[in-house]
C-alpha cells in the first residue's frame, strides 16, 4: 500500500459531504423529478435514509481491514488472481465514470456560460487543476476541502435565502400521489447516483483515517449532510419552478439561480450555483482520479501512482469526445470522415 500522510476525521467528513453532492447536484434533480414529480423530495429523503444502510456496509468492511485500500481488500478476500481481475474492472469503471464527471463540467459550461469555447479546452483546464491536486496527495485534497467547505456553505445559503419569497406550496400538492413503482424507481435513482458510489471512498477509509471511530461518524454525517443538501435543492426546485419545469429543464438548480431577484438589485447571481458545482465536482473528480491512479499502480505493481497521472488524464479528456462522436455517427448517421469538429 502507498503510505501517505493521514487525514483527520473532520477533513474526511467534508470530503464525503462534497463528494456526495458532486455531479449529483446536476443529474439527480431532473431525473428524480421525472419519476416522482412533486413527491421527488420525499423520494430523496427515503434515498438518504436508505443510504445510511450502505454507509454501514462500507464502514463495516473498512473496519475489517483497517490498513488496506479497496484494491488490497480485493486480493485479501478473493485471492490474488480474482482480486486482480476485480481491481482491473474497478479501475476501468472508475476511468469511465471520471470521464463522465468531466463531461458534466464541459457540457454545463458550453451550454450555459461559454457557448463558443471548445469542449476540449474546458476539459484540459479543469483536469489541469485536478492533476495538480492528485499529484500533491490526498492530504492536500483534504485540506483544500477544509478550506473551501465554508465557502460552499455560505454560497449555498446565498442561493437558498432569496428563493424563499418565490415558494409556492401548491406545487408540492397533492402529496403521495405517485404510484409505488415510480416512487421506488425514484429512490433507486437517487441511491445509484449518491450512496452506491461510496465504494470509491474505501480507497481512503480507513487506510488514510487512523481514528476509525471518528472517521466512521464522519462518514455517516457527511452522507446525511450531502443528502440533505440534495433534498433541499430538489424541494426548492419543485416549490419555485414547479414539478413539470423541474423535470424538463436540463439544469433545474442553475435555473433557480436565474430566478433570484431581490428588490431589483440582487439579480443574475446564477453563477453562485455554478461555483457550487465546480467546488463539488472538483473533489468528486479528484477522488475518482486518485482512486483510478492507485488502482493502476496496484494492478501493475508500481510504487508511484503519479507516473500514470498524465496518460490517464489524457484518456479522460478524449474519452467523452470519442463517445459523442460515436453517438452522433450511430444516431444521426454522420460519416466518420466528414464529422464536423464544431460538435466537439
Q: What whole-number distance in Å separates Cα of residue 28 and Cα of residue 203?
A: 25
CA angle 284–285–291, rounded 5-degree value: 95
pLDDT at 341: 41
pLDDT at 117: 86
Picking from 73, 24, 99, 52, the residue whose alpha carbon sits closest to that of residue 204 is 73
Q: What whole-number distance in Å separates Cα of residue 305 and Cα of residue 249?
A: 40
CATH architecture, range 9-307? Orthogonal Bundle (1.10)
CA–CA distance from 24 to each of 10, 103, 185, 226, 264 (Å)? 22, 13, 16, 10, 31
CA angle 52–246–107, rounded 5-degree value: 85
Q: What whole-number distance in Å separates Cα of residue 124 and Cα of residue 104?
A: 14
* Mean per-residue pLDDT pooled into runs of 10, the chain (344 residues): 70 92 81 85 90 91 86 86 88 87 84 84 91 90 92 86 82 81 88 86 86 90 92 88 81 76 65 82 91 86 84 86 58 45 38
DSSP labels, 235-290: HHHHHHH-HHHHHHSS-HHHHHHHT-EETTTEE--THHHHHHHHHHHHHHHHHHHH
The residue extents of the domains of the chain are: 9-307
Amino acid at each position: 500500500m502507498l503510505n501517505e500522510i493521514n487525514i483527520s476525521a473532520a477533513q474526511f467528513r467534508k470530503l464525503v459531504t462534497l463528494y456526495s453532492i458532486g455531479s449529483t447536484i446536476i443529474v439527480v434533480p431532473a431525473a428524480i423529478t421525472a419519476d416522482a414529480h412533486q413527491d421527488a423530495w420525499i423520494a430523496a429523503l427515503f434515498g438518504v435514509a436508505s443510504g445510511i444502510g450502505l454507509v454501514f456496509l462500507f464502514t463495516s468492511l473498512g473496519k475489517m481491514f483497517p490498513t488496506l485500500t479497496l484494491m488490497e481488500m480485493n486480493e485479501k478476500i478473493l485471492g490474488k488472481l480474482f482480486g486482480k481481475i476485480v481491481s482491473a474492472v474497478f479501475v476501468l469503471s472508475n476511468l469511465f465514470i471520471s470521464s463522465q464527471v468531466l463531461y458534466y463540467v464541459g457540457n454545463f459550461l458550453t451550454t450555459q456560460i461559454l457557448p463558443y469555447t471548445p469542449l476540449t479546452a474546458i476539459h484540459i483546464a479543469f483536469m489541469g487543476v485536478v492533476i495538480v491536486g492528485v499529484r500533491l496527495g490526498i492530504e492536500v485534497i483534504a485540506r483544500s476541502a477544509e478550506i473551501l467547505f465554508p465557502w460552499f456553505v455560505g454560497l449555498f445559503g446565498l442561493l437558498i435565502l432569496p428563493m424563499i419569497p418565490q415558494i409556492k406550496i401548491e406545487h408540492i400538492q397533492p402529496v403521495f400521489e405517485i404510484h409505488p413503482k415510480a416512487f421506488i424507481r425514484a429512490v433507486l435513482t437517487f441511491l445509484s447516483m449518491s450512496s452506491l458510489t461510496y465504494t470509491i471512498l474505501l480507497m481512503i477509509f480507513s487506510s488514510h483515517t487512523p481514528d476509525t471511530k471518528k472517521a466512521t461518524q464522519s462518514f455517516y454525517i457527511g452522507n446525511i449532510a450531502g443528502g440533505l443538501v440534495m433534498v433541499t435543492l430538489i424541494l426548492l426546485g419543485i416549490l419555485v419552478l414547479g414539478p413539470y419545469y423541474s423535470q424538463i429543464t436540463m439544469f433545474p438548480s442553475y435555473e433557480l439561480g436565474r430566478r433570484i431577484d431581490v428588490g431589483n438589485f440582487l439579480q443574475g447571481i446564477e453563477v453562485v450555483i455554478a461555483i457550487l458545482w465546480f467546488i463539488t465536482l472538483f473533489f468528486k473528480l479528484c477522488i475518482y482520479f486518485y482512486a483510478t491512479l492507485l488502482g493502476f499502480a496496484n494492478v501493475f505493481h508500481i510504487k508511484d501512482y503519479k507516473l500514470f497521472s498524465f496518460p490517464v488524464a489524457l484518456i479522460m479528456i478524449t474519452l467523452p469526445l470519442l463517445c459523442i462522436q460515436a453517438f452522433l455517427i450511430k444516431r444521426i448517421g454522420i460519416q466518420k470522415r466528414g464529422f464536423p469538429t464544431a460538435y466537439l
